Amino acid sequence: MKQRVYVGMSGGVDSSVSAALLLEQGYDVTGVYMKNWSRDLPGMQCPWAEDLADAKRVAVQLGIDFKVFDFEKEYRDKVVDYMLDEYRAGRTPNPDIMCNQEVKFRLFVDTALADGADLIATGHYARVRYSTQASLLTAKDKNKDQTYFLYRVTSGALAKTLFPLGDFTKPEVRDMAKKRNLWTAHKKESMGVCFVGNVGMREFLSEYITTHPGDIIEKESGKKLGRHDGAIFYTLGQRHGLNVGGGLPYYVVGKDMDKNEVYVSRNIHDEAMWRTEVPLSNIHWIGAAPANGEKVQARLRHRGALLAATLDGDILHLVSGERAVAPGQSAVLYRGEECLGGGIVVSASESSLSLS
């Protein structure tokens, strides 16, 4: 009997090719569009209806069943509210990571299995090694690898997941879509907020958080250099968008959310800009935790370099200092091609966050 797979179809080329490949491999495939967000923003129409239509067209082309799962309330509660709370606190969260943890690989998995699926699949560029315990491996296409966004997924969810694109590069996927004449073969990728569309984070935040102008202050002298339109819009290490001074560039080296002040410096070597010890909270391991002192590699942002490191409890020790490690970002750890898990970067003064 064929295994029944529910494929998350976003209306993009990656999930379209994933569905086509699984069908060709002999699975009983059902396409599922996750309706996570439908609200328009001023001057920006949410693309959900267009994406849904594109996903439906591909499902019709492939001759597979198609369903819509409405997760909009859960997405707002678990992803958007979390993101807004983090920005209000002055941190820099990653909503895509939370979406994977709470929606795609928890809610979608549970709903699909309850609906009769044996497995789920998505168009992520990643691989799973199935053994006694499922583990997460990096994709063949290192430029497109998405394990950074998947590090909070559980081994149990991975055991029920297929990543059909893990062994292909993005150009190969495009070619496969064209050869199959899929509707989405030439569709451009969305570069905006997860599930919201091509809208920048500043525009999105402005709709939900009331901001006030404040001072931009030079750290060393205390001199007021200019004004900002909201401290939440600035992150550690930021250089552009400050509009202060001439000559050498200024960098954001800190901010005070209570005072609504942003602190800058021309000193690229400012101690606030460089970290060799990175405290982590809400650490999540897909399998067994690495041993204390074990040599691992750490990635502190998507497509960031893999950095030599060791872990001592909840402190990540980087062999070489890393610039602009902002609280709220994720530090993801690897052992070779295996993604082990990771945690949320915190400042030394922060109490632990709750993401469970």
91 Cα distance to chain centroid: 15
Q: Give strand pairing partners of 281.
A: 344
Confidence check: pLDDT of 211 > 70: yes
Is the pLDDT reported for residue 196 higher than 80? Answer: no
98: Cα separation from own chain's centroid: 7
Domains of the chain and CATH, by start: 4-201 (3.40.50.620), 210-265 (2.30.30.280), 273-345 (2.40.30.10)
pLDDT given at position 42: 66
Is 195's pLDDT higher than 70?
no
Kind of pairing, strands 4-8 and 214-218? unpaired
Interval 21-50: pLDDT, tens:
999 999 999 999 999 887 767 666 677 788
* CA dist., res. 223 & res. 242, Å (int): 15
pTM as predicted: 0.92
Residue 356 is predicted with a pLDDT of 37
pLDDT at 290: 96
Statement: residue 20 has pLDDT above 80 = yes
pLDDT score for 2? 93
Dihedral pair phi/psi, residue 261, rounded to 5°: -115, 145
Residue-wise pLDDT tens digits, 75-121: 999 999 999 999 999 999 999 999 999 999 999 999 999 999 999 99
Give residue 321's pLDDT: 86
pLDDT score for 245: 72
The one-letter code for the residue type at 344 is: I
The stretches of the chain forming alpha helices (DSSP H) are: 13-24, 48-62, 72-75, 81-88, 95-99, 108-114, 147-150, 155-159, 170-179, 201-208
Question: Of the listed 83, 99, 134, 136, which one is catalytic?
Answer: 99
Q: Is 80 exceeded by the pLDDT of residue 349? A: no
Active site residue 99: yes
Is the pLDDT confidence value at 199 over 70?
no
In the numeric block, the tokens 């931009």 are attached to 216
Catalytic-residue membership of 339: no
Q: What single-letter amino acid sits at 177?
A: A
Complete edge-to-edge strand list for the sheet that includes strand 4-8: 65-70, 28-35, 4-8, 119-121, 161-162
Burial (0-12, 13-18, 19+ Cβ within 10 Å), 246 = exposed
Residue 354, pLDDT > 70, answer no
* Separation of alpha carbons 262 and 160, rounded Å: 45
Q: What is the pLDDT of residue 348?
A: 57
Q: Which residue among 32, 58, 137, 194 is the active-site one?
A: 194
* pLDDT at residue 292, as a whole number: 92
Position 350 pLDDT exceeds 50? no
pLDDT in tens, 109-153: 999 999 999 999 999 999 999 988 999 999 999 999 999 999 999
Give yes or no for residue 355 having a pLDDT over 60. no
pLDDT at 333: 98
Mean pLDDT score, 281-298:
96
Tell me the DSSP string of 295-323.
Answer: EEEEE-STTPPPEEEEEETTEEEEEEEEE
85 Cβ contact list (under 8 Å, min separation 6): none
Average of per-residue pLDDT values in the chain: 91
pLDDT for position 353:
36
Give residue-wise pLDDT tens across range 308-317.
999 999 999 9
pLDDT value for 271: 84
Task: Report the chain's terminal Cα–Cα distance, integer Å.
Answer: 37
Residue 247: CB atoms within 10 A of its CB come to 6
